[in-house]
Amino acid sequence: MSYLTAAAAYNYDTGNDIAGVETKNTTDRSKTIGTGIPSGMVTVMSANGVSAIVGTGGALVTPPISDRGSTVPTYWREVR
């Protein structure tokens, strides 16, 4: 969901598309990925790119993520 407009950010419901034109409305705001309450999304950055993992119903699900924008690596150091 777009945080600025509350409109759908992804086209999860392709059944509402008209003549191949992507249509985003309230049915595109959610997608069933498993049973139960999902965990928080974990972002994974590797040499192959960026992906996400969500735990739900005893399984790990990899939802599609947008590759728009840029990924800026952040490094930190623990000081005691």
Give the chain's domain count: 2
What are the average pLDDT values for consecutive 10-residue runs of the chain, which has 80 residues?
74 81 78 80 83 86 71 69
| Amino acid at position 66, single letter | S
* Domain co-membership, 53 together with 75: yes
pLDDT at residue 3, as a whole number: 74
Domain coverage including residue 4: 1-31
- Phi and psi for 28 in degrees, rounded to 5? -95, 0
Burial 22-58 (b: 16+ CB within 10 A, else e): eebeeebbeeeeeeeeeeeeeeeeeeeeeeeebbeee
Q: What pLDDT score was predicted for residue 15?
A: 82
- Residue 67 has a pLDDT of 62
Domain check: are 47 and 79 in the same one? yes
Instruction: Report the C-alpha gap between 23 and 8 in whole angstroms.
Output: 10
Q: Can you give the pLDDT at residue 16? A: 81
**Does residue 74 share a domain with residue 48?**
yes
